Amino acid sequence: MRKKLAAGNWKMNGLKGDLHEVSALIEAHPHPKCDVLLCPPATLIAGMSMTAAGRIAVGGQDCHMRSSGAHTGDISAQMIRDAGGSYVILGHSERRADHHESDVIVRAKTEAAIEADLVAVVCVGETEAQRDAGETLTLIGNQLKGSLPDHASAANTVIAYEPVWAIGTGRTPTLEQIAEVHDFMREQLIKRFGAEGDGMRLLYGGSVKPSNAAEIFAVSNVDGALVGGASLKAADFGAIIEALAAS
List, by residue number, the catalytic residues: 92, 162
- Residue 11 assigned as binding residue: yes
Which amino acid makes up residue 140? Answer: I
Question: Using CB under 6 A, which residues numbered 186 to 205 contact ligand 13P?
Answer: 205
Of residues 17, 186, 192, 160, the one with CA closest to residue 95: 160
Q: Which of 22, 3, 58 lies closest to 245, judged by CA? A: 3
How far apart are alpha carbons 230 and 126 in whole angstroms? 22
Near ligand 13P by CB under 6 A: residue from 4, 9, 181, 217: 9
Subset of 66-105 contacting ligand 13P (CB under 6 A) = 92
Q: Whole-number minimum distance, CB 68 to ligand 13P, in Å?
A: 27
Return the number of the residue (199 or 205) whose C-beta is nearest ligand 13P.
205
Residue of 6, 36, 38, 208 that binds ligand 13P (CB under 6 A): 208
Cα distance between residue 111 and residue 134, in whole Å = 31
Site string for ligand 13P, 220-239 (x = CB under 6 A): ------xxxxx---------
∠ CA 30-35-40, nearest 5°, is 90
Q: Which residues pair with 5 in a beta bridge?
A: 35, 224
**To the nearest whole angstrom, how small is the minimum distance from the Cβ of residue 19 to ligand 13P?**
20
CA angle 61, 66, 69 (to 5 degrees): 110
Least separation in angstroms between CB 228 and ligand 13P? 2
Give the residue with the Cβ less far from ligand 13P, 168 or 194. Answer: 168
End-to-end distance of the chain based on CA atoms, in angstroms? 14
Task: Give, in degrees to the nearest 5, the angle at Cα 8 between 139 and 80.
Answer: 90
Q: Which is nearer to ligand 13P, 224 or 228 (CB)?
A: 228
How do 87-90 and 57-60 pair as beta strands?
A: parallel
> Per CB under 6 A, does 163 bind ligand 13P?
no
Of residues 53 and 235, the one with the C-beta less far from ligand 13P:
235
Binding residues for substrate are: 9-11, 168, 207, 228-229
Residues of the shown chain interacting with ligand 13P in the complex, contacts defined by CB under 6 A: 9, 92, 162, 167-168, 205-208, 226-230
